[in-house]
Amino acid sequence: MLRLAGVVTYYGPIQILKSLDLEVRQGEIVCLLGGNASGKSTTMKTILGIVRPRQGTVEFEGQRIDGLPTEAIVSRGISLVPEARRIFGRMTVWENLTMGAYTRRREAPAELQQDLDRVYGLFPRLRERADQKGGTLSGGEQQMLAVARALMLRPRLLLLDEPSLGLAPLVVREIFRIVRAINKEAGVSVLLVEQNASMALRLADHAYLMETGTMVMSGPAADLARNDAVRRAYLGY
């Protein structure tokens, strides 16, 4: 479904991604592990065309998307829940969600309502708080709003950049449960960047380990969870 091959990305003169390869198959949850500054968020931004690869290709559903504007990539069915959940703090929950559907504004209001109902079904708390300003939600509620907003685009591939950052374990479990439901019930493929490696490896089908801009390991998530080097560096036992 998604394939990065030989991707090289720079910020100014500094090379961040060094011939990166990555694949997400239809229906899979793939997790991307790696230390701070290894280039995980840059990988997400490269997929979405927020930064441009200098070399290499990004293909989505068999077609090249590198070089396309971000809106065009999003409207093909990829949406991103960015690091640090950039919701609109001064807008209400409802406004955040309807903004999330902006690429489809020509559609009938009934469809918008259907999508709202669907995400409210996944996140009942957001329905209760529809008129509350995004900035006044708790951290966990803001993360739910960020995921819900991304789902309003009806993505076929959801990119999640550290959804558990700064959240209490119970909320993290809730968010992982919802990600699993979105994947299993709606068939949305997921690329997940996570520091919480043990939970991510339990959720994912396939995993990649990245260091300083390149993949150093990949395989079934269960295999990486058993790997000694991964355990020492990321699982802490």
Ligand X SMILES: Nc1ncnc2c1ncn2[C@@H]1O[C@H](COP(=O)(O)OP(=O)(O)OP(=O)(O)O)[C@@H](O)[C@H]1O
Residues that bind ligand X (CB under 6 A): 11, 16, 34, 36-42, 83
Site of interaction with Mg ion (CB under 5 A): 40-41, 83
Pick the closer one to ligand X by CB: 115 or 194. Answer: 194
Pick the closer one to Mg ion by CB: 41 or 183. Answer: 41
Pick the closer one to ligand X by CB: 115 or 162. Answer: 162
Phi, psi of 127 (to 5 degrees): -65, -45
* Closest approach of ligand X to the CB of residue 35, in Å: 7
Q: How far apart are CA 142 and CA 75, in angstroms?
A: 24
* Closest approach of ligand X to the CB of residue 14, in Å: 6
* Closest approach of ligand X to the CB of residue 145, in Å: 21
Pick the closer one to ligand X by CB: 27 or 35. Answer: 35
Look at residue 34 and give the partner it binds from Mg ion, ligand X, none, a contact being a CB closer than 5 to 8 Å depending on partner kind.
ligand X
Closest CA to 147 of 188, 101, 179, 181: 179
Look at residue 37 and give the partner it binds from Mg ion, ligand X, none, a contact being a CB closer than 5 to 8 Å depending on partner kind.
ligand X
* Closest approach of ligand X to the CB of residue 48, in Å: 13
* Closest approach of Mg ion to the CB of residue 11, in Å: 13
Greatest CA separation for the chain: 53
Pick the closer one to ligand X by CB: 2 or 210. Answer: 210
* Closest approach of ligand X to the CB of residue 32, in Å: 9
Look at residue 63 and give the partner it binds from ligand X, Mg ion, none, a contact being a CB closer than 5 to 8 Å depending on partner kind.
none
Look at residue 174 and give the partner it binds from ligand X, Mg ion, none, a contact being a CB closer than 5 to 8 Å depending on partner kind.
none
Q: Is the Cβ–Cβ distance between 200 and 24 less than 8 Å?
A: no
Pick the closer one to ligand X by CB: 95 or 211. Answer: 211
Is the CA virtual torsion 125, 127, 128, 131 positive or negative? Answer: positive
